[in-house]
Amino acid sequence: MTDYQEALYEGYGQRFTIDRMLHEDHAGSRRLAIFENARMGRVMTLDGVVQNTEADEFIQHEMLSHIPILAHGLARRVLIIGGADGAILREVARHRDVEQITLVEADAAMLEACKTFLPERSRGAFNDARLNLRIDDAQHFLNTCGEMFDVIICAHIGRVAAHEEEGSLFQACRRCLNDGGILVARIGTPFMQLVQVQTAAKQMNGLFADWHFYQASVPTSCGGAMSFAWGACDPASRRLSLETLSQRFAGSGVVTRYYNPHVHLAAFALPQYVLQAIGKASNS
């Protein structure tokens, strides 16, 4: 057995024992590795950074999917940017009222590798009749598509915007949102990546009627709680009552392992140091 040492931060990180290497692809500009670990199951890494593990992937993917869909309340068209493993797609597809799901992934080879070696992530969701799968660069797709969406979910804003200004991706997403639409995106861990959170805050400020962040505790998210950007065209979307969320959740018929309406509301309560960093701190 060998070890996998994550290369996200210098001088600090997490280590996984590789019980069996399933797939390695060093072709092109990105390095994909998928291996088995006795404790965390199948682990997906990209460019030396753990993307998710079989044991805890449900946390981030439930929070990326169910929070915007249930906050919207009438989401019919959902766009997923990135997410080659199909885990976000899996969660979105659980909402029977969603009529169309568009998934845009730039890397066809990574998509096929995930289908082959991580079938438990998608659990058949790639066969959903509502899916419109597009192999395309995210920025190009957003700039050229004539479609509008109720919810847009970015698997990781930094990853999908690697070759573009992230601000332009936020702007392109905003142009493709219907009235009342919501954008969410995985950003990173504020404790270790506070600059990324601050950058996202500056880019969303003035672009959305309501912008904020929410968090979730993901054990293999190195550096603490993971943060997600929130941009809504209607400020009321973030101010729903527990009763309303509970009714929508029960009506959806979706069964979850992490998300519930109480977690939904609590996730938007940010630590003071994060609020100070994004200019939303208050002493009250």
Residue 87 marked ligand-binding = no
Residue labelled with tokens 């479609």: 147
Ligand-binding annotation for 85, yes or no, is yes
Is a pLDDT exceeding 60 seen at residue 26?
yes
Give the SS3 label for residue 4.
strand
pLDDT at 163: 41
Is 3.40.50.150 the CATH classification of the domain at 57-277? yes
- Which two three-digit tokens encode residue 189? 């861990």
> What mean pLDDT comes out for the span 235-240?
98
| Residue 20 in marked binding region | no
In the predicted structure, residue 283 carries a pLDDT above the cut 70: no
CATH 3.40.50.150 boundaries in the chain:
57-277
Containing 147, the helix (H) or strand (E) segment is none
Is pLDDT of 116 > 90? yes
- For the domain with range 2-53, which CATH number is right: 1.20.1090.10, 2.30.140.10, 3.30.750.80, 2.40.10.350? 2.30.140.10
If you average pLDDT over residues 102-125, what whole number do you get? 96
List Cβ neighbours of 77 (8 Å cut-off, separation of 6 or more): 98, 99, 100, 102, 147, 148, 149, 150, 151, 178
What pLDDT does 29 receive? 62
pLDDT digits (tens, 9 = 90+) for 46-71: 999 999 999 999 999 999 999 999 99
Backbone angles phi and psi of 179, in degrees to 5: -55, 135
Contact (Cβ atoms closer than 8 angstroms) between residue 200 and residue 212: no
Residue 284 has pLDDT above 70, yes or no: no
Residue type, 10: E
List the Cα angle 11/17/18 in 5-degree steps: 120
Q: With bands split at pLDDT 50, 70 and 90, how would you rate the model's confidence at 7?
A: confident
User: What's the pLDDT at 14?
Assistant: 95
DSSP conformational letter for 95 = -
- For the chain, give the mean pLDDT: 94
- Average confidence (pLDDT) over 12-39: 90
Provide CATH 2.30.140.10 ranges for the chain.
Answer: 2-53
Residues 256-266: pLDDT tens digits? 999 999 999 99
**SS3 track for 171-200:** HHHHHCEEEEEEEEEEEECCCCCHHHHHHH
